[in-house]
Structure 1
């Protein structure tokens, strides 16, 4: 049977306006390993940390903070300064570790818990001025240190969640568009105020965020494997579509520890195609035990699937 040309034309036009099904990519495992370094001034160097050549390895310098002493009493104006152990983690040492290991990238983490014997608050006076100052000051540091990306680890807030979302979202978008950075991550934890701010950022700028370094070690010490799995799936549903990384703290003060089943949980996530990577807080504390859990984490990530 032959259809009239007009009918065929209408069919074609209609098909153009039928919503297409959204095909969601299947979750996949990753060999990404990330490590915070430099916050506790324990003389740890990049070269102290074992690096498995079969993983993607990110060092995260901790921290750079928008704390400008010249602007007291309102120091959080987007003018970032270095607060990590820059004597042991210098620009030349960044270049050296990256030249020695082609699988290594180095980023910097913004914010942290404290500065100058007080909390490191996110408290900008305006979105536009904060973003402008932050782009300028961070670009200078990133280029000086030959860095690849940034991590957002603000934990205390005086501004509202929308201001945080716009400041951080515009910062990440601008640095990426200018090709100053190649990756960006966020580091929330399960606290109502913290989640309110990061979920607002995720809602508006989630497509600009490559990894979610969720601080699972902020849960109670003694967390079980089953609890960890519940926490992981809960947070993955909140940061839907994001690459949520498994994590632990190397001093054993919170969350699911390696001794109590962290790697069991990672293997379970791997079997579910949800092990997007592992990160550790921090190299400074791991130095005392010879980085044994860094070696174990990377061996798991590098193992054939």
Structure 2
């Protein structure tokens, strides 16, 4: 038997306002986000291909980087096409099922990214602080377990978040003052008791963010202490250079996440929240492959060889 709650949820529609309050910017924003998405797809898929075809890049660091590129590509593909769609069409609606699905997949990718960055920080810690044990500590089996754990926890976290929304009741047309279906906006549209759901959100979201942040910070504290003890200037430079790309990516990612945490929810802050969300969901997936390719000699050499080969064949 179909319950009244199911009937209510079946008729729910969400309206994504996006940037509709800036009508003159719709076309310029569409072109900008389209360019960013193309660069994101080419950059991340290109990074995966480059790592696969170059034997010199078959190391734990690049193994994790290839998975980060896959997660960034997936995350951007879940969010950006819908953003482009609502910028050029008048119908900005999305069904309840579509909204929940977008949130669920996006949450999976976001949790995976936080844990991947933590795993990559641990990898750099082992490489610099325990170089003699690196091949043992970061064996293929250990790397596979770390990646499996990251993907598994990302899926579990997303399922928990999604379930806490599915048990709530919704009805009618609901406005989301953003360009994506994010948790707090969906939650605010429900007329059910949200107390337990908010507690679960608070505990799980803070655990994922601050647990991984502690791993990153602890790893880099040990790295900096180890590097400062090195007597060779060239050794210190080499150690810092191996961490520079990852440290840059971590700073941008966690800086944006913590910024969004600190912005108060008010009518005046909606534009700031939207811009921060754009940076987190659209821009960062584009920046990561650029950061790692521009600062990495092996990746740049592989790209140059591929370009030279294509030019010669042409």
Instruction: Please indicate the TM-score interval, normalised by the length of the shorter structure.
Output: under 0.3
More helix by share: 2
More strand by share: 1
TM-score by length of 1: 0.24
TM-score by length of 2: 0.24
* Structure with greater contact order relative to length (CA < 8 Å, sep ≥ 6): 2
